[in-house]
Amino acid sequence: MRPDPSELSLDHPVCDLNPLRETHAEAAHWRRYGPLVPVTVMGGVRAWAAVSADAARTVLEAHPDLAKDPAHWGAYRRGEVPADWPLLSLIVADSMLNADGADHLRLRRLVTFAFTPKRVAALAPRVREITRALLDTLESGGTDTAVDLRSRFAHPLPLLVICELFGLSDLAQQGLLREHYETMLSVEASDDARRKAALGQREVLGRLVADHRNDPRDDVTGALIEALDEEGGRLSEKELIDTLEIILLAGHETTVNSLTSTVHALLSHPEQLALVRRGTIGWPAAVEAGLRWNAPLRSVYMRYAVRDTVLHGVTVRRGEPVLVALAAANRERPDEPAPERFDLLAPHGRQLAFGAGPHFCLGAALARLENAVALEELFARFPDLDLAEPESDLVPLVSPAINGLASLPVVLNGGAGAA
């Protein structure tokens, strides 16, 4: 039986967020306590978790009692959050993600120009070129044996696109950035390795800025440096690096997993794939269905109560943090009999994979474009693409923040009779 929400308190967490547990199984357990559940998130950090779609919206949309600025986080102010807590550096950085009101708008407006639907649509030919080049490389390795589509295709595509937008063309530096981000987000890496990776990626970004200063270029990094150098500076040096960090990280890690999850969904639901192949529905609809079925963000961290407030029957006290169990909330639909179904024909209009409210994903249009082009090109090039392993052998990622698969072994020419 569900407890009375007024009896729940962050002093007594009832569940823990365990990255080893499968995202949706964990959420089903949490839901038994109601839409907002007091949980611990690795290392003893406590937070309310919004696990229903309604509660997720309440938290994500501009709620007057919730803020993003970690200055409002009581435990952090009191020095109770371990300095090596895996997600800390990301959620206390001076980026738009952790800012409110005018400050948030100031930081977001500096880069909005690069991600408008019109600017993004203009990138389509280049995204297609990059996609085809990656597929050429994939094909040249042979089509009848198993390859990991995640590391060989889904991973490099968004990284190459976002690096190009920001003028990070040096392949060695791109590789370093990729390694650092993977370590920073890994729960299996040691604290020391994570700390070194965080410093390493800042070095790459610092070098990117220095290169742009020596050789000014007309790209997004160039525009940010211009804003920094303007008289009266709209941006501090630290904000510049933190802004580059959040966009480069958010701009690829999420897209890797949406693409991997959607290819997985289509291969394991051939009747849905057939709908696109027959032209009943387009690739953009497959992208939306994939995002809804397995949103790439397992959890979104954090909002903080600026005063005591009652949300969905629970009292969240001033200074307490609230996270959104996004992938779980995105599958919850009281009005649908089987919301966990991967269904291209279901309406996906109100899905939450890109968040909602003022922090709605800056790169949503770019992510949608990359996914749609990638799916279209991939299935056109390899019409017999198939899973190389039984579905039950696919291994989920171990992460408190990302939801997806650790790898996606496929056979490009699966029709030739490979495993």
Interface with ligand HEM (CB under 6 A): 60, 96-97, 108, 115, 246-247, 250-251, 254-255, 258, 296-297, 300, 326, 353-355, 359, 361-363, 366-367
Question: Are residues 394 and 261 in contact, defined by beta-carbon separation less than 8 angstroms?
Answer: no
Least distance CB 160 / ligand HEM (angstroms): 12
Helix (H) or strand (E) holding 410: strand 409-411
Single-letter amino acid, residue 335: D
Residue 178 φ/ψ region, left for φ over 0, alpha for ψ in the -120 to 50 degree band, beta for the rest = alpha
Least distance CB 70 / ligand HEM (angstroms): 12
Reference 372, options 262, 218, 237; nearest CA is 262
Nearer to ligand HEM, 138 or 161 (CB): 161
Pairing status of strand 309-311 against strand 314-316: antiparallel
Please give the structure tokens belonging to residue 292.
Answer: 């809804």
Reference 202, options 137, 249, 155, 170; nearest CA is 249
Q: How many angstroms separate the CA atoms of 349 and 265, rounded?
A: 19
Least distance CB 174 / ligand HEM (angstroms): 16
Helix (H) or strand (E) holding 19: none
Least distance CB 419 / ligand HEM (angstroms): 29
Q: How many CB atoms lie within 10 A of CB 4?
A: 10
Q: Residue with CB nearest ligand HEM?
A: 363
Question: Are residues 268 and 293 in contact, defined by beta-carbon separation less than 8 angstroms?
Answer: no
Nearer to ligand HEM, 57 or 196 (CB): 57
Nearer to ligand HEM, 301 or 414 (CB): 301
Helix (H) or strand (E) holding 118: helix 117-122
Least distance CB 209 / ligand HEM (angstroms): 18
Place of tokens 């390493």: 200
Least distance CB 286 / ligand HEM (angstroms): 13
Nearer to ligand HEM, 326 or 411 (CB): 326
Q: What is the largest CA-CA distance in the chain?
A: 65
Nearer to ligand HEM, 50 or 138 (CB): 50
Nearer to ligand HEM, 316 or 412 (CB): 316
Question: Are residues 66 and 301 in contact, defined by beta-carbon separation less than 8 angstroms?
Answer: no
Least distance CB 142 / ligand HEM (angstroms): 30
Least distance CB 30 / ligand HEM (angstroms): 19
Please give the structure tokens belonging to residue 45.
Answer: 């950090």
Please give the structure tokens belonging to residue 80.
Answer: 């109770």
Q: How many angstroms separate the CA atoms of 177 and 72, rounded?
A: 31
Least distance CB 4 / ligand HEM (angstroms): 29
Nearer to ligand HEM, 355 or 414 (CB): 355
Nearer to ligand HEM, 225 or 324 (CB): 324
Nearer to ligand HEM, 163 or 246 (CB): 246
